Chain A
Amino acid sequence: MSIILYAESAEGKFKKVALELASYAKKVAASLGTTVTAVTINIEDVSELSKYGVDKILKVTDAKLAGFTAKAYADVIKQAVEKESAKLVLLSSTTDSLYLAPLVAVTLDAGFASNVVGLPVSLSPFQVKRTAFSNKAFNTTEISTAVKVLSLSKNSYGIFENASTATEEVFSPVISDADFGIKIESLEKASGKVTIADADIVVSAGRGLKGPENWGMIEDLASVLGAATACSKPVSDLGWRPHGEHVGQTGKPVSTNLYIAIGISGAIQHIAGINASKVKVVINTDPEAPFFKVADYGVVGDAFEIVPKLIEKFRAFKSQNS
């Protein structure tokens, strides 16, 4: 039952989720007594993967795959799985991988489980734990097909070094023109900004900030911490911040190491979206705000006084500890 993972990259570098996926694959492979093969697309230097236990790398290089086209990428992964006779296919939970996963699963007649957290609960029958009901519950899912596809929740396993000697092999799957029914016209991406999906720390603010003109200090705090900025649903509905920043049940899910909520009361839908984050800090004037019930650390007080002080203190901390 060999394992294949798709090692996602951006700007020629593997994403952290790819390294987490490799660490996870290595652990599962050890309990199955098998090896880990990674598929990479248009990456020159793939050596980093061998630090995390990958045994074999199928290097795909093709100009047609320069932009992310889900169907074509799914086709590449499918052919790699068939070539290796792999039985377990691992993907991450980025927007692109979640787009790919059902396409990969259906072409392989494979059962698929998304939002997987932690190692399989059982290998035979094959059962995994995943989040459901928007993080308000866990669900153990059994997959009964011969080939299985999992997408692993970000930050649910961790990155562990495990040196191996990975063999590199050039892999040239057949890519059909029929895979390009969706044509990329343009891409809008804020450059040099940490995205919510990649961030280890997210600084999020709500209506307590009183108006969009007060977000300067939130951005400053995020920049000191190397964090992404986010906001609550009312703030995005009011147009104070772009939709892409809305986190919560109907917005983006956040599963980061540290989530700092400023002036957010903590409606159940908001909490559901961010609950997978490891450590939660709340800053709010109202000690009765529901967010205090789910937070690890809380400060009762006025954000307009606390945040500027925090920026200074974090800056001092960073300069001492870097």
Chain B
Amino acid sequence: MKILVCISHVPDTTSKINFINDDSQFDTNGVQFVINPNDEFGLTRAIWFQEQQGATVTVVNVGGPETEPTLRKALAIGANEAIRIHANPTDGFFVAKQLAEVIKAGGYDLIIAGKESLDYNGGMVPGMIAGILGYNFLNSCVAITVERTSIKAAREIDGGKETVSTTFPLIIGGQKGLVEEKDLRIPNMRGIMTARTKTLTILEPIDAPSETKAVKFEKPAPKSAVKLISADNLDELINLLHNEAKVI
């Protein structure tokens, strides 16, 4: 089984979000970058396939040289090799076109991407790759098992879970549930050492248009102070929710 895990390089979830250049660009100053959490669940699931069923795991990212530490971390966690497509990930469609090209060339059976990245929150790359290649696609995937060529998987639906069966080639938009938080791997010293000698291939991008453009960013307006209500006067809370906020 050949697995490709698509990795986004995103600000750590605790990062302060600021913008520069006339609010047109994210300010990376002092920001710690990590493997996108939704991708990390998928990466760990892929490593399990590697350890238990002999799969090979390649990780891929579209980005500049500054994203390589994130790919090295994925290698330290256990991926066999890495690919970096040397391009600025301008929009979801552009990224999907680049990844589709790598997938066609590599003949992967299973492609695992996060259902969305925690920076742009576009949520479109896995679905677009599936559309471009005509592969099977399961979004919000919370479980997957493979037995020979038969695949059982589950996706989260509003208020529950749907179990499906499908076949390779398959693309999933992964999230927590593929593995649990406690299962996530932290690179150990041996992993970090071997990661240094693993192959990281740099590919030039193919020509593809961007269909969308992030023009401007802004932060939400500051919030007015909380209204405190005494625990002995809960009628006031109900009154405010009814008459002021008008939500009950």
Q: Which residues of A approach B to under 8 Å, CB–CB? A: 70-71, 74, 94-96, 98-99, 101-103, 105-107, 109-115, 127, 131-145, 178, 181-190, 193, 195-198, 200-201, 225, 233, 237, 243-244, 246, 249-251, 257-258, 268-269, 272, 275, 278-279, 281-282, 292-302, 305-306, 309-310, 313-314, 317, 321
Contact = CB atoms under 8 A, between A and B. Distances in A.
B55 interface: no
Contact of A189 (B14, B38, B157, B173): B157
Contacts of B189: none
A297 B226 contact: yes
Contacts of B214: 132, 139-141
B247 A258 contact: yes
Contacts of A138: 217-220
B126 interface: yes
Select the residue from A243, A300, A310 with max chain B CB neighbours within 10 A.
A243
Q: Return the 10 tightest CB-CB contacts between A and B, nearest first.
A: A102-B127, A106-B131, A195-B159, A111-B211, A301-B231, A189-B160, A197-B158, A181-B136, A102-B124, A99-B139
A250 B37 contact: yes
Given A101-B127, A297-B237, A317 B242 contact: yes
Select the residue from A94, A99, A135, A190 with max chain B CB neighbours within 10 A.
A99
B213 A142 contact: yes
Interface of B is mostly: mixed
Contacts of B238: 313-314, 317
Interface string B148-175: 0000100111111111111100000101
A102 B126 contact: yes
Interface residues of B, number: 82
Given A102-B131, A197-B158, A317-B238, A282 B226 contact: yes
B61 interface: no
Given A297-B227, A300-B231, A306-B231, A139 B118 contact: no
A187 B162 contact: yes
A89 to B, nearest CB: 13
A142 B24 CA distance: 13
Select the residue from B140, B234, B235 with max chain A CB neighbours within 10 A.
B234
Nearest to B14: A268
Interface of A is mostly: mixed
B248 interface: yes
Given A112-B92, A187-B163, A268-B14, 7 more contacts: A95-B158, A110-B211, A137-B218, A190-B160, A243-B176, A297-B229, A313-B238
Contacts of A295: 226
11 contacts: A99-B139, A103-B128, A105-B124, A106-B93, A133-B11, A139-B214, A140-B218, A141-B214, A143-B211, A250-B118, A278-B247
B106 interface: no
B158 A94 contact: yes
Interface in B101-126: 118-126
B176 to A, nearest CB: 6
Contacts of B217: 132, 137-140
A183 B237 contact: no
B49 interface: no
A111 B212 contact: yes
Contacts of B93: 105-106, 111-112
